[in-house]
Amino acid sequence: MLFESVTCAFRWGFDLQSTRDTAFIAPLTFGVRVHHGYVGALCSLGSVPVHGPLAAWALRIGLALLVSDVVHHFVVLRWTTGDPQFDLTYPRLVMIEAEREAQEARG
């Protein structure tokens, strides 16, 4: 719930959209859109061969990130916008700039 609350606060409270507002990192990720669910999956998988309290927390946090991303895209965004907006890659920068300009023109 915490991760999803933070994600929603950024989305609707600050009007930020990851695909649009983090496009500047696209060259660093070779155009791949990095979801927090990917980080959670890596964290969870990385905790499997390790034992102890740190591994248990890594598993919990990783699963929370993964579940939060799935819920955010396929429940919350689909329900509120009609589109899960689960972009695997960043759209072309030209499209992002056009969307930003259109949004600024609307006020």
Q: Within a domain: residue 74? A: yes
Q: Within a domain: residue 10? A: yes
Per-residue confidence (pLDDT) for residue 93, from 0 to 100: 62
Distance CA(17)–CA(28), nearest Å, equals 18
Q: Within a domain: residue 107? A: no
**The tokens of 30 are what?**
């070779």
Q: Which tens digits make up the pLDDT trace of 53-82?
A: 889 999 999 999 999 899 989 998 899 888
Rounded to the nearest 10 degrees, what angle do helices 36-47 and 53-71 cross at? 150
H-type alpha helices, the chain: 2-8, 18-21, 36-47, 53-71, 78-81, 93-106
pTM, full prediction: 0.69
Number of domains in the chain: 1
Average of pLDDT values for 37-58?
Answer: 90
Q: Within a domain: residue 106? A: no
Distance CA(105)–CA(107), nearest Å, equals 5
Confidence of residue 104 (pLDDT cuts 50, 70, 90): confident
Residue with tokens 């006020």: 107
Confidence of residue 96 (pLDDT cuts 50, 70, 90): low
Q: Within a domain: residue 86? A: yes
Q: Within a domain: residue 105? A: no
Q: Within a domain: residue 32? A: yes
Per-residue confidence (pLDDT) for residue 39, from 0 to 100: 92
Per-residue confidence (pLDDT) for residue 8, from 0 to 100: 83
Per-residue confidence (pLDDT) for residue 57, from 0 to 100: 92
Which domain range does residue 89 map to? Answer: 2-100
Q: Within a domain: residue 85? A: yes
Cα within 13 Å of Cα(61), Cβ side: 11
Percent of the chain past pLDDT 90, that is, above it, reads 24
